[in-house]
Amino acid sequence: MTATAEKFTQQTLLDVTPLTPSLFTLRTTRDPGFRFRAGQFARLGVTKADGSTVWRAYSMVSSPHDEFLEFFSIVVPGGEFTSELSRLEVGDTLLVERQAYGFLTLDRFVDGRDLWLLATGTGIAPFLSILQDFEVWEKFERIVLVYSARHACEMAYQELIAGLCSREYLADYAHKFIYIPVVTREQVPGALNGRITALIENGELEHAAGIELSSEHSRAMLCGNPQMIDDTRKLLKARDMQLSLSRRPGQVAVENYW
């Protein structure tokens, strides 16, 4: 085996499920030696017809304890990776780097009572991994998942989210979970309408959660489009919530999703 080959494993595509014309989930086998913390991402590779490989980073939707790897992707028009991926079928091979990456993990926070998970689009992926892992349920008293999409049809994994607290290992923690769906371009019963930033500014998000978003008690993880992250960080900074760094623990952790 070459030094390059040792950096990745070949995994088999188990399932590809389109949700909309531009969104799909994919599931692969998992190498027994692949380890990751909930919230991290992997680099996936697809081999082109000319023998070259296209790589792209994807956060794991699956938990660290699952025997498979699952990912949530948007189709990029003309995108080299998703164009190649769309040609693959169940049973085909994907490359997965042996090393997991990313710092959108719970060890970014040394304290805190309430955890806010703020996601747009496919940025929901790492939070689903975190919520399927036991650590978060023991660490926080309240866990607020805020999931924003443009249209209701783009809201993925609703069955998984709804079924989280009915899992046997989480049965005693159901009271901790608050789910707030947000749809920005249409009115949907049971969902807030508006951008996450606007809902923070006008107080609707905190009202829906029933708890305050504060530097004293709240810890926030942001994942999604860069504009949402930048704008939300500014709002949180105004509440004295700072980015958590290794040299300076804070109240906010982020992952730009493209």
Question: Which CATH number, 3.40.640.10, 3.40.50.80, 2.30.110.10, 3.50.50.60, labels domain 106-256?
Answer: 3.40.50.80
Predicted pLDDT of residue 4: 56
Regarding pTM above 0.85, the answer is yes
From CA 144, how far away is CA 188, in angstroms rounded?
Answer: 20
Predicted pLDDT of residue 256: 72
From CA 139, how far away is CA 211, in angstroms rounded?
Answer: 17
Domain 5-97 class, CATH top level:
mainly beta
Of 223, 224, 216, nearest in space to 251 by CA: 216
Residue spans of the domains in the chain: they are 5-97, 106-256
Task: Go through 65-89 and write b for each residue having 16 or more CB atoms within 10 A of its CB, e for each that does not.
Answer: eeeebbbbbbbeeeeebbebbeeee
Predicted pLDDT of residue 257: 58
Predicted pLDDT of residue 49: 87
Residue-by-residue pLDDT tens, the chain, 258 positions: 444 568 999 999 999 999 999 999 999 999 999 999 999 999 999 998 899 999 999 999 999 999 999 999 998 888 899 888 878 899 999 999 999 999 999 999 999 999 999 999 999 999 999 999 999 999 999 999 999 999 999 999 999 999 999 999 998 999 999 999 999 999 999 999 999 999 999 999 999 999 999 999 999 999 999 999 999 999 999 999 999 998 899 999 998 755
Of 223, 209, 205, 216, nearest in space to 239 by CA: 216
DSSP 201: H
Local structure of 6: helix, strand or coil:
helix
Predicted pLDDT of residue 209: 98
From CA 176, how far away is CA 167, in angstroms rounded?
Answer: 14
Site of tokens 């008690």: 217
From CA 22, how far away is CA 118, in angstroms rounded?
Answer: 22
Local structure of 251: helix, strand or coil:
coil
